[in-house]
Amino acid sequence: MSTHQAPMPLCQRAYSQLLVIDAQERLAAAMPPDELDLVVGNMNRLISAAKLLGIPVIATQHNSRGLGGIIEPVRATMPEGADITEKTAFSCCTAPGFERSISAHPDRRQLVVVGIEAHICIAQTVSGLQRWGYQVFVPDDAIISRRTEQKLSTLKRMRHCGIHVVCTESVGFEWLGDSTDAQFREVLALFKAL
């Protein structure tokens, strides 16, 4: 029996896209407040790092008439003109227009996925992205569910199925790759307060 393991992939700036799923008003209001503050802070760190490093940021809104728009702290951090897909499907991958959004960058086959809720829209989306052949990274400190056990069971399932569960700071520094990078100090500043 072989003990050979595949090499651990890293998030690479040239191949990444950041996907922010359903960070919306009514969903956020149902989340544990302390955990939500941490998750929103980490989503914003990744959005800010992506903007600094030229990484596309894509977002979705689930039934925004019923659940409201993207929460103000995240909306304020999003890049101007960010591509936002409106959806009613739980998986972004079955939402009209979503495939066009991520395939606008055909060489970027890594998706870093953050948002709300881990065990519903995020779980179904990462499954779809994986089936489409994307390498999927989920920062466990930038996703949330109403109950912690829902999130934890989903993360266990993701790991078992080959989704790369990471942390926000790892993604930022993997995108940088080198402390001599021109954006190093700006990206470092995003994480210094952690």
The whole-number pLDDT of residue 143 equals: 98
- Confidence at residue 70, expressed as pLDDT on a 0 to 100 scale: 96
- What average pLDDT does the chain have? 94
pLDDT score at 2: 54
Peptide bond into 186 cis (omega under 30): no
Kindly report, residue by residue over 62-116, the tens digit of the pLDDT.
Answer: 999 999 999 999 999 999 988 899 999 999 999 999 999 999 999 999 999 999 9
pLDDT tens, residue by residue, 114-172? 999 999 999 999 999 999 999 999 999 999 999 999 999 999 999 999 999 999 999 99
Counted residue by residue, the chain has a size of 194
**3-class DSSP assignment, residue 31:** coil
Which residue type sits at 118?
Answer: A
Report the SS3 class of residue 8: coil
Distance CA 111, CA 62 (A): 19
Domains of the chain, first to last: 13-192 (3.40.50.850)
Q: Taking 70 as the threshold, does the pLDDT of residue 3 lie above it? A: no
**Which one, of 127, 112, 105, lies nearest residue 174 by Cα?**
112
Cα distance between residue 136 and residue 44, in whole Å: 19
pLDDT value of position 152: 96
pLDDT at residue 81, rounded to an integer: 85
The yes-or-no verdict on residue 1 having pLDDT over 80 is no
